[in-house]
Amino acid sequence: MITTKFDVKKIIQLISIPLFVYLLSAALGAVSFIRADAFIKADGQIVRVSPYKNIALRQILEKLGIKLGENDIISKDLDKPLAPLNSAVITRVEKEYKKINENVPFRMTWSRNYNSNLRKTQLQKGVEKTVTKEVIETLHDGVLFNREVLSEKSIAKEYYRLALLTKDGKIEKIYDLSKAPSMKMVSTAYYPGDPLAWGDGTITFLGRKMQRGVIAVDPAVIPLKTRLFVAGYGYGYAGDTGNLIKGMRVDLGVNNVSEEPPWSFRDVTVYILEPSETH
């Protein structure tokens, strides 16, 4: 039988040394933590502050000259101290009243293609809306956070427009007929080889081929080389004149003599689109 004797005093000495080191380290850590700074983030800046055990965050802000707006948000309790290593984040909140106009693009409800007058065109009828909203916008640090709609009013505008098409049917240009100048005029019609037409009736005043879509005008009323649209007739180009075409008169080019009567001495609306060297 073997008996081992322990020296209690030595054991206590051996244990007490690391225990003392641990307690000292913990105490120093606690002191370091207590002395550690805290942070206040506001207006794009970070302010380092020494936390005070018995001083509320509200007082710290006052000391630093940082003021809170009525709607501003802060991430920590203003009535409590700011703990070491903690951050108090201030979000600046602004509210703005605005009137906003939003345009809803043209929505086509009806269309008609014209393929026989000089070039392909499409008459379009549709609706365009303007929506007016009264809103309150909430901004967080200058960035839109929320938009509350107080009221909304919609105004719809129905109108016609003319689209010029390429040979493969793609839209080349659009004219808003509601904005184009227009005139009430009296029409007659003529055709290639018409004995009453200028010259032999096959070449226009501008020296171009006479064809459907060419319109004879009084240059004092409608300048030559002007793109036109005539309700019911279609697209046209002011490319000719005539001895009898004076004042509020137009002579509409048609294909043949059988197409002439429906346009003889008829009241028409002529829309002025734009000057152009080509039809």
For residue range 225-241, list pLDDT tens digits in order: 999 999 999 999 999 99
Of 54-58, 133-137, 198-202, the poorest mean pLDDT is in 198-202
Dihedral sign for Cα atoms in the order 194, 272, 208, 164: negative
Q: What is the CA radius of gyration of the chain?
A: 43
For residue range 110-125, list pLDDT tens digits in order: 999 999 999 999 999 9
Q: Are 51 and 38 in contact (CB under 8 A)?
A: yes
Q: Strand (E) positions, 83-225? A: 87-91, 93-114, 121-140, 143-165, 171-176, 182-190, 214-216
In this predicted structure, the answer to whether residue 31 has a pLDDT above a threshold of 60 is no
Please report which confidence band the pLDDT of residue 1 belongs to, taking 50, 70 and 90 as the band edges.
very low
Please state, in angstroms and rounded to a whole number, the distance separating the CA atoms of residues 126 and 110.
7
In this predicted structure, the answer to whether residue 29 has a pLDDT above a threshold of 70 is no
- As a CATH number, domain 8-91 is 3.10.20
Mean pLDDT of the chain: 89
Q: Are 202 and 193 in contact (CB under 8 A)?
A: yes
The DSSP code for 211 is: -
Please state, in angstroms and rounded to a whole number, the distance separating the CA atoms of residues 173 and 42.
53
Q: Which CATH superfamily is domain 180-275 in?
A: RlpA-like domain (2.40.40.10)
Q: Do domains 8-91 and 180-275 have the same CATH topology?
A: no
The DSSP code for 201 is: S
Integer angstrom CA distances of residue 76 from 51, 59, 71, 177, 223? 13, 13, 15, 62, 75
In this predicted structure, the answer to whether residue 94 has a pLDDT above a threshold of 80 is yes
- For residue 198, the model assigns a pLDDT of 72
Distance of CA 24 to the CA centre of its chain: 67
Ranges of each domain in the chain: 8-91, 96-175, 180-275
Which percentage of the chain shows pLDDT scores above 90?
Answer: 78
Q: Are 30 and 84 in contact (CB under 8 A)?
A: no
pTM: predicted TM-score of the whole model, two decimal places: 0.67
In this predicted structure, the answer to whether residue 177 has a pLDDT above a threshold of 80 is yes
In this predicted structure, the answer to whether residue 250 has a pLDDT above a threshold of 90 is yes
- The residues that bridge with 171 in the sheet, in sequence order, are 165
Average pLDDT over residues 74-100: 94
Please report which confidence band the pLDDT of residue 137 belongs to, taking 50, 70 and 90 as the band edges.
very high
